[in-house]
Amino acid sequence: LAEILPFRPRQLDRILEIERASFPREAYTRKMFKELRRECGPLFLVAKSQGRIAGYIATCRSETGAELISVAVDPRWRGRGLGAALLGHTLALLRASGTPHLDLMVSVGNPDAVRFYRRFGFRRFGTARRYYEDGSDADQMRLRL
């Protein structure tokens, strides 16, 4: 259904489109994506379906494991397994390199995403109060690899 490939700079305009459609209030900027490319390297991936980029995922290594920075799928392409393919590919890369765990932050007001992560085995281990600019909280979740 989808090919999972490393992010290329020429895909940035399309990634920004998906980002703005997915996070209308807190979209990452062009500059932030360029930083992610530097920091995430081969863990910045895109999903290509029918010749078109339809989603991305960016994960950075941390001192102790790795952190999922962001994942988004074009609203018109959701519910077809692209998000699962992006996350599954990321987990395979992390397991192959012996990474012990993958952490992430997710808005408490995003139950769809929380359900998506739980299905992969992520468990909540804390809450970051007022994590987002609008003052809302984030759940901290971890998957042991």
Ligand X SMILES: CC(C)(COP(=O)(O)OP(=O)(O)OC[C@H]1O[C@@H](n2cnc3c(N)ncnc32)[C@H](O)[C@@H]1OP(=O)(O)O)[C@@H](O)C(=O)NCCC(=O)NCCS
Contact residues toward ligand X (CB under 6 A) are 22, 70-73, 78-84, 106, 110, 112-113, 116
Pick between residue 25 and residue 38 the one whose CB is nearest to ligand X.
25
Compute the least distance from the CB of residue 43 to ligand X, in Å: 15
Q: Cβ 121 to ligand X, closest distance in Å?
A: 14
Q: At what angle do helices 82-96 and 111-119 cross, to 10 degrees?
A: 50
- Judged by beta carbon, residue 98 or residue 113, the one nearer ligand X is 113
Residue 10 backbone phi and psi in degrees, to 5: -65, -10
Question: Cβ closer to ligand X: 1 or 98?
Answer: 1
Q: How many residues does the chain have?
A: 145
What is the rounded end-to-end Cα distance, in angstroms, of the chain?
25
Q: Which of 32, 30, 56 is nearest to 44 (CA)?
A: 56
When the beta carbons of 101 and 131 are compared against ligand X, the nearer one is 131
Nearest distance, CB of residue 99 and ligand X, angstroms: 19
| Smallest gap from residue 76 Cβ to ligand X (A) | 9
Question: Could you give the residue ranges of the DSSP H alpha helices within the chain?
Answer: 12-22, 30-40, 82-96, 111-119
